[in-house]
Amino acid sequence: MTTKRFTRVIGVVGVVLFMNSPVLSQADMRRAPAELGPTFYAEAVAYASEQPNKSRLDVYVQVPHEEIRFLKENDRYLGRYELTLTLLTAAKEPVLEQLWTVDVPVTDFSLTTQRRLYSLTHRTLDVAPGNYLLTLQLRDEESKKTSQIKKSLLVTDFAKDSVTLSDIMLVNRLTTEGERRSIVPIITGNISHTAEGFFVFFELYTRQRVDSVDVVWKVYDPKKNEVAGGTQREAVAGPKSQVFLKIDSSGLRMGTYFLSVEASARPVVDGKPLEYKGVTSRTFNIRATDLPGVIPDLDKAIEQLIYIARDTEILYVREATTEEDKRKRFLEFWAKRDPEPSTTRNELMEEYYSRVAFANQNYTHYLEGWRTDMGMIFIRFGTPDNVERHPFEYNVKPYEIWYYYQLNRQFIFVDETGFGDYRLRYPTTDLWGRVR
């Protein structure tokens, strides 16, 4: 299924930089967008399955139109990409692999370059409860470029307790028509910073007969402080119920949060009061609409300016007295470096933080990926033209050589510990000229 929006119908019982200074110029980043594969997003949500001893895993993939290479085909433009889904157990044993192709037809060229328009596809898998590693690889058919997302999953056994809750789906839009409800899900995990709040959806499963449950939700900030919460009572008409909660996000600043939901039932059986509880949780990001989606935390984004900004510039942004002023100063910093000021997008800012996200995904070890030596080089210089890997040479510590032929630069990383912690050994000074 491929549309710019994806809708699931819900019924009553089912879910139908290369300089010696720390400043990175526009020219340094100009070749970068072609280097990385398409940016895409994925979400996996676990529910109870109709198959015995199984749980249902719904996997969603969202690809912005601007990440797809379109070709003119008669009176339309056609983009096409290939997806490979691989599921492994926690012990890296293969469970399944699926491959499918998605066509994205549009009628007007202007629709091929918009990030707000996207293709969304979906697959349903029935798997045994347990821990898994999900890998999704996307390959654009025209550009031949690939990118990958990996996620660790815990698929719950929804039949083991008296009350259990499915995973939580973030809701982009909810419409009701009679007894039918339609959901447009949020795949990125990013919630726009609005005063109206947002909805979440999950399923409630009861193995004991109860008339209602009390649902309590709480939101915690990264320091584990409770910053929002609420309660509501849900009537229970059968073994499976669908629950929508409206989360009040009016008091939440930009950043990453943890949502916890608990449902409890207190029936009286044979004159004895009992209590059943089920819990579920997930993280989500509150983001500003004027910042790229790969920036979930403004304070962290300011900290990550280290490879492109002077210390005085970072200090100026950081010392803003209000959150609004801080975001304004941050955007002013990037506006001065916007390669195309006439457009609404700042391509340099998007590219920079895409590299940060890539570094976090691929080079995180004892430190976050963007803080590592490999992350630093990747953020400043982009994808190497060539990489030599030497992991198993006799009497030699593992090392890699990254070549940037166009820049006449090379970097050597050595794994001193043998645990994948590669450190920059050549050049012997860092990119600010300090001896390492």
Q: pLDDT tens, position by position, for the chain (436 residues)? A: 333 333 333 333 333 332 333 334 333 433 333 456 888 999 999 999 999 999 999 999 999 998 999 999 999 999 999 999 999 999 999 999 999 999 999 999 989 987 789 999 999 999 999 999 999 999 999 999 999 999 999 999 999 899 999 999 999 887 777 767 778 899 989 888 666 789 999 999 998 888 899 999 999 998 999 999 999 999 998 899 999 999 988 888 888 899 999 999 988 777 777 889 999 999 998 888 788 878 878 899 999 999 999 999 999 999 999 988 999 999 999 999 999 888 778 889 989 998 998 899 889 988 999 999 999 999 999 999 999 999 888 889 999 999 999 999 999 999 988 888 899 998 876 666 655 5
Which of 358, 409, 330 minimizes the C-alpha distance to 40?
358
Q: How far apart are CA 8 and CA 124, in angstroms?
A: 13
What confidence score (pLDDT) does residue 17 get? 34
What confidence score (pLDDT) does residue 397 get? 93
Q: Is the backbone of residue 74 left (phi > 0), alpha (psi -120 to 50) or beta?
A: left
Judge if pTM exceeds 0.85: no
What confidence score (pLDDT) does residue 194 get? 65
Range 8-200+234-248: architecture per CATH: Sandwich (2.60)
Q: How far apart are CA 269 and CA 334, in angstroms?
A: 64
Distances (CA, A) of 429 to 206, 411, 436: 62, 11, 5
What confidence score (pLDDT) does residue 212 get? 92
Torsion of CA 174, 175, 179, 183, to 10 degrees: -40
What confidence score (pLDDT) does residue 27 get? 31
> Which residues belong to CATH 2.60.40.10 in the chain?
8-200+234-248
Range list of H helices, 271-346:
298-303, 311-318, 323-335
CB atoms within 10 A of CB 18: 17
Q: How far apart are CA 131 and CA 237, in angstroms?
A: 31
CB atoms within 10 A of CB 286: 20
